[in-house]
């Protein structure tokens, strides 16, 4: 038995119904596409006007999205494509291990992290960032959303503050040392004044031909050198003034050879012979006789040893 064919009118009505359905579907699709475009435009507008950098990376570290602040932070040029690059390219080696640990923590579902990293953009400048991240769904897959804030100036300010604190502590220590040195110097100068004073009295009263006169001169010279050491202590503590005089190095070398310390050094090293070859036309210099004398003696002592 043959079926009856639909009447032309019925066929037309069915076609018109199908056409209306297709038009409605197309209209809904256009609305969805328009909504998506508006959403993407709004998302781009919001993210690109953020002051903080925002980067979305997969679990391998590849960049899936970066806003304008992030592109500026890692020195990407406008025509450079960031998608597909690995965030490791921009991490300082010292921050690599910490970044890996934070990435694994977020991937495991633990709370978002708050850490400080050091970045190394292509320009070579070093940037400190404070970073917070968390797990999100991006393009039907889980990923890590990382927000970063440039704290380079803050870190520099903290470093400057630390240096200032260290300098203040050193200044306080030097002040305490200066007070101690001042007290010690006062007591030592009183004792040395008595020793040198009595030695000079004995020298004035002693017969010029007495064999003890050189010994008294050594006592006076030793007392004066001890007084110079006290002055050094005050200078080290920044409570004294270094003495500068016009000096002749040849005469200082001769005085160094005649000092009891030099004679004692020669007795410690009997196999060492010390010779001098001085320029008679050597010009005078300006300096501290105590410091230069000590330098000469230390040079000879080190050479002998």
In angstroms, rounded to a whole number, what is the distance separating the alpha carbons of residues 265 and 297? 9
- Cα-based distances in Å from 287 to 8, 27, 53, 249, 291: 124, 97, 60, 10, 8
Q: Tokens for 271?
A: 């196999």
% of the chain at pLDDT higher than 70: 84
Query: Could you give the C-alpha distances from 24 to 20, 32, 51, 293, in angstroms and in order?
Result: 6, 12, 43, 105
Predicted TM-score (pTM) of the model is 0.49
pLDDT in tens, the chain (305 residues): 555 555 566 667 667 777 777 777 777 777 777 776 766 666 666 667 677 888 889 999 898 888 888 888 877 665 566 777 888 888 888 988 998 888 888 888 776 668 889 888 877 788 899 988 888 888 888 999 898 998 988 888 999 999 999 999 988 887 887 777 777 777 887 888 888 888 888 888 888 888 888 888 888 888 877 877 777 776 666 555 556 789 898 988 888 888 777 878 888 888 888 888 889 888 999 887 877 888 888 888 888 88
At 81, list the tokens.
Answer: 């494509």
Per-residue tokens: 239: 């409570």
For 252-263, give one letter per residue: b (16+ CB within 10 A) or e. bbeebeebeebe
Closest CA to 216 of 253, 251, 254, 260: 260
Please calculate the CA angle 282-295-305 and round it to the nearest 5 degrees: 115
Mean pLDDT (the chain) is: 81
| Pairing of β 127-138 and β 141-150 | antiparallel
46, 147 in Cβ contact below 8 A? Answer: no
For residue range 96-121, list pLDDT tens digits in order.
899 888 888 888 877 666 888 988 88
């Amino acid at each position: 038995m043959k079926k009856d064919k639909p009447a032309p009118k019925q066929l037309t009505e069915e076609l018109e119904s199908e056409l209306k359905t297709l038009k409605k579907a197309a209209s809904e699709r256009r609305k969805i596409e328009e909504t998506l475009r508006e959403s993407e435009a709004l998302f781009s507008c919001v993210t690109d006007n953020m002051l903080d950098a925002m980067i979305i990376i997969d679990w391998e570290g590849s960049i899936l999205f970066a806003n304008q602040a992030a592109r500026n932070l890692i020195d990407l040029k406008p025509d450079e494509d960031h998608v597909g690059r690995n965030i490791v390219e921009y991490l300082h080696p010292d921050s690599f291990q910490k970044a890996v640990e934070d990435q694994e923590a977020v991937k495991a579902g633990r709370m978002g992290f708050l850490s400080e990293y050091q970045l190394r953009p292509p320009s070579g400048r070093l940037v400190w960032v404070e970073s917070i991240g968390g797990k999100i769904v991006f393009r039907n897959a889980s990923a890590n959303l990382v927000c970063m804030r440039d704290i380079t100036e803050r870190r520099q300010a903290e470093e400057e503050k630390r240096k200032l604190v260290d300098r203040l502590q050193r200044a306080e220590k030097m002040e305490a040392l200066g007070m101690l040195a001042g007290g010690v110097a006062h007591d030592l100068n009183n004792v040395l004044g008595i020793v040198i004073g009595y030695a000079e009295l004995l020298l004035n009263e002693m017969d010029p031909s007495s064999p003890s006169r050189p010994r008294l001169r050594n006592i006076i010279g030793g007392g004066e050198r001890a007084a110079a050491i006290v002055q050094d202590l005050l200078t080290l503590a920044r409570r004294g003034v270094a003495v500068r005089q016009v000096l002749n190095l040849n005469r200082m070398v001769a005085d160094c050879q005649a000092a009891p310390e030099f004679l004692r050094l020669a007795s410690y090293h009997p196999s060492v012979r010390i010779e001098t070859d001085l320029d008679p036309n050597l010009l005078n210099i300006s300096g501290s006789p105590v410091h230069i004398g000590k330098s000469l003696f230390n040079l000879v002592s080190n050479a002998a040893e």
